[in-house]
Structure 1
């Protein structure tokens, strides 16, 4: 039996929404949802423009950094709670490590 087998070259790629990484597309998609909730064309346009601006900002901030930069930033900048707390790393308020 001869069959063509697909062998993936990259196993740890970021999640994609269309052509965009999920963390870049999220601000735009969320702002479209908020714009839809406003029920006005002007509100939708303003929210879409703000979402595009935020997505561009995230994309430029993330450029030339580690692929998981957004997750690392969220761990150190956002407050820890039982849902977002990581078990293998210390809490984000502990800045000094001995070792």
Structure 2
């Protein structure tokens, strides 16, 4: 019984890429890909700077809210498709719920 076992403390933490949450790092990574497709150093630098400012904007908006704020915002503001539709919750276009 001397085995050293690891007991996780936080099971519901957000996924991380380095030190950033995934939803904050996603704009930078996406814009790096777009800048790479641009084919020039200027396009890459402009795209990365736009992605960086978008991620900073998202981080500031999300700072005082629930950790999954970005996922909640996407659910309510983007159209549903068969991949992202949830079975246990009503569709996002139904705004009034009784009960």
Question: Gaps (5+ residues) in structure 1?
Answer: none
Aligned partner of 2:44 in structure 1 is 44
Shift of 1:22: 0.3
Alignment deviations for residues 29-55 of structure 1 (CA, whole Å, 9 cap, x no partner): 010011011110100000010000000
Residue 31 in structure 1 maps to residue 2 in structure 2: no
Shift of 1:16: 0.5
With normalisation by structure 1, the TM-score equals: 0.96
Aligned partner of 1:64 in structure 2 is 64
Question: How many residues are paired up?
Answer: 99
SS of the residue 2:2 aligns to: coil
Q: Which runs of 4+ in 1 moved over 4 A?
A: none
- How far apart, in 2, do the equivalents of 1:69 and 1:88 lie? 19
Question: Gaps (5+ residues) in structure 2?
Answer: none
Shift of 1:64: 1.3
- How far apart, in 2, do the equivalents of 1:9 and 1:64 lie? 23
Question: What is the root-mean-square deviation in Å for CA atoms of aligned residues?
Answer: 0.8
Shift of 1:3: 1.9
1:67-86 superposed matches below 5 A:
67-86=67-86
